[in-house]
């Protein structure tokens, strides 16, 4: 899986979308349990969101899942994430919540 650096200005509610595919057939499939994990900037404790339990984590269609959470200026920094399905399939990445844009710029 390739990682792309993504940055957002708050307040923002980005979608973190993932797909689960069979290795041999490339067909989409639903793991029995899908859990999104976030590690906040400078954090040491993971925050988890479970599809079917937490409103932020949803199943879109077969094999497609989304985490949608609001980030504010207090969330600025690099966030690490990973998603597990059936405790064996894992996807991962990072994104950055930027500081608010200045209201005016003096030259």
CATH number at residue 78: 2.60.40.1930
Residue 25 lies in a domain: yes
Q: Which range has highest mean pLDDT (2-16, 18-32, 67-81, 83-97)?
A: 18-32
What's the domain count of the chain? 1
Residue 49 lies in a domain: yes
Residue 30 lies in a domain: yes
Residue 58 lies in a domain: yes
Residue 103 lies in a domain: no
Residue 1 lies in a domain: no
Residue 106 lies in a domain: no
- Cα-Cα end-to-end distance for the chain: 43
Closest CA to 69 of 49, 42, 94: 49
pLDDT digits (tens, 9 = 90+) for 49-62: 999 999 999 999 99
pTM: 0.81
Cα-based torsion angle of the residue sequence 43, 67, 64, 61 in order, rounded to the nearest 10 degrees = 160
Domain housing 67:
7-97
Closest CA to 80 of 24, 41, 50, 44: 41
Q: Which range has highest mean pLDDT (10-14, 53-57, 70-74)?
A: 53-57
């Amino acid at each position: 899986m390739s990682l792309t650096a993504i940055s957002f200005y708050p307040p923002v509610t980005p979608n973190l979308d993932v797909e689960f595919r069979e290795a041999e057939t490339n067909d989409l499939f639903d793991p029995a349990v899908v859990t999104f994990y976030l590690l906040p900037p400078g954090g040491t404790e993971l925050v988890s969101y479970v599809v079917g339990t937490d409103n932020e984590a949803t199943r879109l269609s077969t094999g497609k899942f989304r985490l949608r959470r609001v980030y504010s200026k207090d969330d600025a920094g690099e966030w690490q994430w990973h998603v597990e399905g059936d405790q064996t399939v894992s996807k991962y990445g990072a994104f950055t919540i930027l500081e608010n844009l200045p209201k005016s710029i003096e030259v």
